């Protein structure tokens, strides 16, 4: 993934999984998201959120520890 800011800065992030991205890794991401919310009930308690802003680092840690995914900043 590449993120670009309006001032020209950018960041490149590599996400890899140990299963196919359509079903194998996706199903593990959904399951770990559910566990993350159960273990952290206060996340997202105030409104409607998307996954990354509400669970952020907590979910990334779970995905790396339990779901065979890795996240690495390349630049």
Summary count for the chain: helices (H), strands (E): 2, 3
pLDDT for position 65:
97
Name the burial class of residue 58, with classes exposed (0-12), middle (13-18) and buried (19+) by CB atoms within 10 angstroms of its CB: middle
Domain boundaries, the chain: 2-73
pLDDT for position 57:
92
pLDDT for position 44:
81
Residues 22/4, Cβ–Cβ less than 8 Å: no
Per-residue pLDDT of 7-61, as tens digits, reads 999 999 999 999 988 888 899 999 999 999 999 988 888 888 888 889 999 999 9
Model pTM score = 0.78
SS3 14: strand
């Amino acid at each position: 993934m590449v993120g670009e800011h309006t001032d020209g800065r950018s960041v490149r992030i590599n996400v890899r999984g140990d299963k196919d991205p359509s079903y194998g890794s996706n199903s593990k991401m959904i399951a770990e998201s559910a566990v993350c919310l159960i273990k952290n009930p206060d996340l997202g308690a105030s409104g409607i959120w998307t996954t990354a802003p509400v669970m952020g680092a907590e979910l990334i840690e779970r995905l790396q520890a339990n779901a065979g995914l890795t996240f690495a900043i390349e630049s």
